[in-house]
Amino acid sequence: MALPYTLIILVSIALVAVNRYLSRKRLPPGSKHLPGPRNIPFIGRVHDVPEKASWVKFYEWSKVYGPIYKQEIFGKVHVWISSEKIAHELLAKKASIYSDRPQIPNLPDNRTSGDYLALLGSTETWKRQRKLCNHLMHSSALASLHQYPTRERNRFLYLMAKDPENYIEWIEQFTSRTVARLSWGTAKPAQILRHTTFGLLQTISPTGALPNILAFLRHVPGVISPWKKKENARHELEDRLFKANVEFARQGVHNGKGEESFITTFLRSQISDDERERTKWGEKEEAMHVVGLMAIAGTLTIGSPIQSYILAMCHYPEAQKALQKEIDEACEGKCPQWEDREKLPMLRAVVKEVIRWRPPVPTGIPHATEKDDVYNGYFIPKGATIHALEWGITRDEEVYPNAEEFMPTRWLDPQYPTYREPLTQYPNLSGFSQFGFGRRTCQGVPIVEQDLFLTIGGMAWAFNIQKKINPSTGKEIPIHWNDYTSLLIAKPLRFAFDAIPRHEDKIAEMRAMFDSAREVEQDQNDSFEMDLSAFEKDLGVEKVYGDTAVELNRIKEDAREEERQKQRKREDSGSERGGYSSSEPGLEFRDSSSEADTESTEEGSVEAAVPAIVDLDGSLIKNGLGRRVAAVLEVPGAWKWA
């Protein structure tokens, strides 16, 4: 097997080298090359780009070579832009040249296949799909996204309260369930969507698959290419899922039991009496892909700023206090709703600052040039890959003084260049550089805006998020400042923190919000539920987690297992004491989830005071929350559940 691989690689290298040599361009008169690091023949500077946080390296080079510079990787020209002004001048003002997308070696038909609108070249298919995407997004935004982000936020907060250590899971569930509802009117496909979508992220990320760095590997035939095999299997599953989702929505439109979604907006246009409306938005197959891409984008991205918010609050407790003060006063103690947005400029500023501080797409999604161009005397060849380096753009000190600091006030105080009035409207995310430039700007901003406003506002209302305290030293346990995953969409690496409910009333309210979201879901499922059993078998999972009750049972089972293990340890060490110490110094309570099903009177009284700590059937769900509740209630000494 080694010989064919070596041969293929050598032939590919030779072909690429000849091709590059033949296509070398002379500079147009009066123009010059862009500055940039000196290239080593053929490989360019690929060895200098770290796998982790490559955006920081590209940003460092911008300090040396300027806000626009060039780098070559295996003969391909990459242009890096770290200035919003330059990105705007090229990608927006010269959009007729700069709106193409480069080929992704590990997904070679990305520019033509029509499966993923965001990756399409500047073709008629892209224009048609973008129009449809815009229409679907606009229709749902006008209906306030059908309250789906609120319903899912209400579910999310309670899960966070119960089990904050599992925060990444709850956040990813929130984003995927919300966007699955928006796309197909049901949260059921969320888990499989996450699975296939993460696979796609690996397929297309520069660091996710080797052919994206060593492009000649794309010529390795499918039968022996591990990357092609993996991608084909993933794509096949995704295709089946999207077809099943559209079919479910189609039945819902016909039986009148389906919920609103992007795809139902499209399907309704297809059964319209108006012939023009029927044909205007193209074929069902294409709409399936457009909606699928919207679901993919929503699943992948929004978790990043939600996690970055938690990280920011651990490092900037003062910002959290200011945000809580605004919410408490403006909402009179209630959890913020989307309708409150005009009176919550600080919350909108925090949302925007989180995205600026830790850009979710730090290297941007690259554009490509369709023609040669000259910018300020610099030559940019046709076919160059153009990166608006979002990390660099957000660190431009002229626009963002003290750029490394998390400073929501930069959006609210007239002394900063980013201030804008009226504060009932600004800051907001519309037109923000972090969503791209020109004709390729992100089309999901209404979802991002509402999802982040509700989750971040909800968390600030409900919890004090803070670093953990080491019980033996009484000191804060340090957490990272900027350790992020290295795929195209960057998320903070897991860190430990405390999310302490601010008051016991909030726990009861979270429980009530959760219950009401669950009831609506249950009613919907009782009347019309999507069957995913075929997929469950394929994925080897017992039940997909779209089902809230199943998820709760899982947590409860985990808690019981944890307790069983603790019990075994206690027995092993010969201890006769039934309780254990919580992480908060001085607090101790007895946790007996396995006994909690019994209806003891004492338990009843605790339950009545803090109903959130028990599950649907009255049993304790997770030890962690017990600790938080104990802390909130300032229960002295041992606290018995049963």
Output the known binding site for heme: 442
Q: Which is nearer to ligand HEM, 120 or 614 (CB)?
A: 120
Nearer to ligand HEM, 107 or 118 (CB): 118
Q: Which is nearer to ligand HEM, 300 or 621 (CB)?
A: 300
Cβ of residue 116: shortest distance to ligand HEM, in angstroms?
9
Taking the least distance from each CB to ligand HEM, the nearer of 71 and 385 is: 385
3-state secondary structure of 367: strand
360 part of the interface to ligand HEM, by CB under 6 A: yes
Cβ proximity to ligand HEM: between 13 and 365 the closer is 365
Q: How far is the CB of 380 from ligand HEM (least distance, A)?
A: 16
Nearest-approach distance from CB 182 to ligand HEM, in angstroms: 8
Is-cis flag, bond preceding 471, omega within 30?
no
Site residue total, ligand HEM (CB under 6 A): 28
Distance CA 444, CA 428 (A): 14
Cis peptide before 35 (omega within 30 of 0): no
Binding of ligand HEM at residue 610 (CB under 6 A)? no
52: phi then psi, degrees, rounded to nearest 5: -95, 135
Whole-number Å distance between alpha carbons of 328 and 142: 28
Work out whether 488 is an interface residue with ligand HEM (CB under 6 A).
no
CB of 420 to ligand HEM, least distance (A): 20
- In 229-376, the DSSP E strands lie at 367-368, 373-375
> Does the footprint of ligand HEM cover residue 412 (CB under 6 A)?
no
Q: Tell the smallest beta-carbon distance from residue 59 to ligand HEM (Å).
A: 16
519 token code pair: 């009831």
**Is 492 a residue that touches ligand HEM (CB under 6 A)?**
no
Contact partners, residue 139, CB within 8 Å, separation at least 6: 262, 265
User: Which residues are paired to 73 by β-bridges?
Assistant: 76
- Is 263 one of the binding residues for ligand HEM (CB under 6 A)? no
Interface mask (CB under 6 A) for ligand HEM, residues 304-343, using x and -?
Answer: -x--------------------------------------
How far apart are alpha carbons 396 and 67 in whole angstroms?
Answer: 9
Q: Does 117 bind ligand HEM (CB under 6 A)?
A: yes
Interatomic CA distance for residues 342 and 428, integer angstroms: 11
Q: How far is the CB of 81 from ligand HEM (least distance, A)?
A: 11
Rule CB under 6 A: is residue 365 a binding residue for ligand HEM? yes
- Shortest approach of ligand HEM to residue 391 CB, angstroms? 12
CA atoms within 13 A on the CB side of 319: 27
Distance CA 460, CA 328 (A): 10
C-beta atoms surrounding 308 within 10 Å = 24
Place of tokens 């679907």: 136
Site for ligand HEM in 428-467 (CB under 6 A): 434-437, 440-444, 447-448
Question: What is the C-alpha separation between 429 and 435, in angstroms, rounded?
Answer: 8
Binding site feature residues: 442
Residue 187 or 302 having the CB closest to ligand HEM: 302
For the segment 279-308, give every residue that binds ligand HEM (CB under 6 A): 293-294, 297-298, 301-302, 305
Contact 140, 265 (CB under 8 A): yes
Residues of span 136-175 touching ligand HEM by CB under 6 A? 137
Sequential DSSP letters for 290-316: HHHHHHHHHHHHTHHHHHHHHHHHHH-
Identify which of residues 130 and 234 has a Cβ nearer to ligand HEM in the complex. Answer: 130
Of the pair 71, 301, the CB lying nearest ligand HEM is at: 301
The DSSP output letter for 333 is T
Question: Of 133 and 312, which has the nearer Cβ to ligand HEM?
Answer: 133
Q: How far is the CB of 344 from ligand HEM (least distance, A)?
A: 19
Nearest residue (CB) to ligand HEM, 62 versus 619: 62
Integer Cα distance of 201 and 203 in angstroms = 5
φ and ψ at residue 578, rounded to 5 degrees: -90, -15
Q: Which residue has the tokens 């092993």?
A: 572
Min dist CB 298 to ligand HEM, Å, is 4
384 touches ligand HEM by CB under 6 A: no
- Structure tokens that stand for 154 in this block: 């209400």
Asked if 201 interacts with ligand HEM (CB under 6 A), we say no
For 20-57, b where at least 16 C-beta lie within 10 A, e where not — what string?
eeeeeeeeeeebeebebeeeeeeebbeeebeeebbbbe
Chosen residue from 118, 217, 313, 399 binding ligand HEM by CB under 6 A: 118
8 A C-beta contact, residue 427 and residue 449: no
Interface with ligand HEM by CB under 6 A: which residues? 117-118, 130, 133, 137, 293-294, 297-298, 301-302, 305, 360-361, 364-365, 367, 434-437, 440-444, 447-448
